Chain A
Amino acid sequence: MPGSVAEPVTEPLWEPAGAPVSRPPSPPGFPAAPELLETAGTRFRRFMEQRLPALVEGVARSWIETLGLTAVPVEVSDVDAFGMSQEFVERWQPVLARLLSDYFRAELRGLEKLPAEGPAILVCNHSGVLPYDELLLKVAVRESGGRNGSPGRDIRPLSEDFAINAPFAGSFLNRFGLVRASRDNAERLLRAGHIIAAFPEGTQGIAKRYENRQRLQRFHSSGFVELALRTGAPLYPVALGPIGLLPLPSRWNIQVGDAIRASGGEVAAEDRSTVARVTEEVRAKLQGMLTALTSVRRSADSPASGTRRRSAAAGRSSAPRR
């Protein structure tokens, strides 16, 4: 019976808590002629068209407000071509910079070597199981500052698939400036004049065993060298340490090495031996920096274990694994 369908809905028995539902003005005391003629069908249709959407919206709004269910951690008004929001970066930078300086007590060295403009490739090691170093490197470079007190450049770390596609975290990282690691993305970013940070160990670098944590893994990709040759962007080895399983509050080092300029252009980028030679050069330099970093750190922390580890690390680095 249509009347019984329309009855509870023209005058809802309950209202959602939260946002008020807009209500049409109550009819005057004496119903007008058209309303007398109104059938249950038109009342029902009017409810479906006017009242129900408002009702559903009210309920949903209150549900969202109560449970805090919004689409993303933070809403932003605009993003650049690769999803970074300046507004979002400015909001989160102080929080993360504080984490970097107070929790990780990070020591930043050589960041002034990075170019003030134009493209560059940072070649980094993975320092732990979680890919938080990608995020913190970006924070560190921005924190290191540019000329006359302005914030440093927004580098674009190339992130592992699983991080950039993770629910919640993925959109956070993307709004903060991380980009999914792919050759096409890297090339577009370089051509647009960005600094990219590559982690050529790939997931291997994250999954490496604890006893191998000092050892740079075989570079999963030499794509970054091909890109450097093709675009003329300088390569900077960046050592991140210490290498830890978890983000423990240990003292952190971020060290930028001297630039390696790979020349040769398109022709050299096609040549496997040139690519392999430059890749090995970068890898050796980064391994050297890591070894030095660790031995200095160990001896400062505890002299006895430091000597042992230093010799162990030196022994490893003399015979790099292929």
Chain B
Amino acid sequence: MSTRSPRRAPRAAKRRPSRAIAVTGAFGFLGRRLLARLEADPAVDRILALDLKPPPGLLRKTAFVRIDLASPRTDVQIAAALREEKIDTLVHLALFFNPIQNAAYAHEVEVVGTRQLLAAAEAAKVKALVVCGTTAVYGARPDNPNYLREDAPLRPPRQSRYMSDKLEVERQVAAFAQAHPRTSVAILRLGSMLGPSVKNPATRLFGRALVPVILGRDPLMQFLHEEDAVEALHRAVMAKAAGPFNVAASGVLPISSIIQLLGRTPLALPAPIAQASLAALWSTFGIGTPPSWLDYLCYLWVADGSRASTELGLRYQYTTRETVLAFGAIGRARQAPSAEAILGA
């Protein structure tokens, strides 16, 4: 048994401060913030931080175990650590938010790493699992409805290896949930994020003075503030949520309005030229974004985040417009707050 006392009380009842939570990717930009919240949460008894990097500072409730999801047989190591700390909830954040050049390594971390983690969760019999996903897995398609619900088909661009890894993680997590009905398995599909510390294709696109857009295309877009993402993760962990949840702020804005709000200059390129330049930059210089991502600038991929509101009680602090304005206020010189600054607070 991984818990000290049998948990027979209904989920809604006031919980004793006995939660033990493990977080992978604990010192990434989301993990650091989640850890700070869990540290401050009196309902959390202890935390197990799993990451490649050592912790940036001293933490009160947190124990640290160094893991490398890309190396073989990490599952044994993780399972041992989970058992030792009597972990009840495992949060998986050791995932990429940004496509990287080394697709083979990304695959190892995302797909093989998640498989190992799920094996460890099974071996240690955790009660709840929260995995971080993305609404980009729905894919940007001309025939998408204006608001994608959690049951919408997942149709990301086929050529993108980053996206096929994300899709594979979704499949693995869904299969795990089906095989383990007694474990609450939640996947939080986070909307495209903008914020002070996140680095992703959107922050790169809108961080520049000159924003390349597709000529004649002006789709509605939606942005999530990273604070809301952390809030959603925290709530999902505490509520032992189950199933897929879109975490997507209310409100939409066309790309042109976002560029206007941020005071940037749009550079409208015909689609074939944009495609060719992206392909050249990505494959030759290893910079930018894979060309298969252009669809996300052409078509709708706005998600309906209301399920997270009703079932997790999540109150989005930022609308899309407020997220964009907050991002604009950071300015071009973006400085990620140091881990010490967050955790020391």
A61 to B266, CA, bound (A): 9
- Apart from the given pairs A64-B267, A71-B213, 19 other A-B contacts in the complex at a CB distance below 8 Å: A53-B209, A57-B210, A64-B266, A64-B268, A71-B256, A72-B218, A72-B254, A76-B257, A78-B321, A79-B220, A81-B146, A167-B215, A167-B217, A168-B216, A180-B300, A182-B143, A182-B146, A184-B145, A184-B147
B218–A57 touching, CB < 8 Å: no
Give 10 closest A-B pairs by Cβ, nearest first: A167-B216, A171-B218, A184-B145, A72-B218, A168-B216, A165-B142, A71-B266, A71-B256, A71-B213, A72-B256
B142–A76 touching, CB < 8 Å: no
Which residues of A line the B interface, CB within 8 A? 53, 56-57, 60-61, 64, 69-72, 75-79, 81-83, 161, 165, 167-168, 170-171, 174-175, 179-180, 182, 184-185, 188
A77–B146 touching, CB < 8 Å: no
Also in contact, A61 and B265, with CB within 8 A (given A72-B254, A82-B146, A182-B145): yes
A183 to B251, CA, bound (A): 20
Which residues of B line the A interface, CB within 8 A? 142-143, 145-147, 149, 209-210, 213, 215-220, 250-257, 259-261, 265-268, 299-300, 321
A77–B260 touching, CB < 8 Å: yes
Q: In angstroms, how far is the closest chain B Cβ from the Cβ of A164?
A: 8
Closest to A164 in B: B142
Also in contact, A165 and B299, with CB within 8 A (given A69-B268, A76-B257): yes
Contacts of A81 in B (CB 8 A): 146, 250-252
A140 to B50, CA, bound (A): 62
Q: In angstroms, how far is the closest chain B Cβ from the Cβ of A65?
A: 10
A69–B142 touching, CB < 8 Å: no
A82 to B146, CA, bound (A): 7
Which residue in B210, B213, B252, B321 is a CB contact (below 8 Å) of A83?
Answer: B252
Which residue in B209, B217, B254, B268 is a CB contact (below 8 Å) of A76?
Answer: B254
23 examples of A-B residue contacts, CB within 8 angstroms: A53-B209, A60-B210, A60-B265, A64-B267, A69-B215, A69-B268, A70-B256, A71-B215, A72-B256, A77-B257, A79-B254, A81-B251, A81-B252, A83-B146, A83-B254, A161-B143, A167-B215, A168-B216, A170-B217, A171-B254, A174-B218, A179-B146, A182-B143
